[in-house]
Amino acid sequence: MKEKLQAVAERAVKTFAQSLLAFIIAAGATSVDGVNWKEAAGVAALAAVLSLLTSVVSFSFGNEGPSLASEELVPAEDELGHG
C-alpha cells in the first residue's frame, strides 16, 4: 500500500509542476513579476487534484499502479543497483 501511495503522490506532484510550467509558458510571462502566481497555482492545484482522483479511480478498477493502463509498480533500486 505504501508503494501505491508514493506512486500517487509522485504523479500528483509531477502533474502540479508540469501544469504550473505550462501555465507560465502559455501566459507568455517574460519575468517572474509577469506571472499571476495565484492563478497559476490554482490551475496547477486543480490539475493535481484531478490526477489524484484519476489515480483513486484507477485503483478501484483493480490495477496495481495509479494508471488506468496495466503498469507494474517496481521498487526503486538503491545506489548499488539492488532492489
For 7-30, the pLDDT digits (tens) are 889 999 999 999 999 999 998 888
For 24-79, the pLDDT digits (tens) are 999 888 888 889 999 999 999 999 999 999 988 877 666 566 665 555 656 666 66
Residue 81 CA to residue 83 CA, distance in Å, equals 7
pTM listed for this prediction: 0.70
65: left (phi over 0), alpha (psi -120 to 50) or beta: beta
pLDDT of residue 39: 95
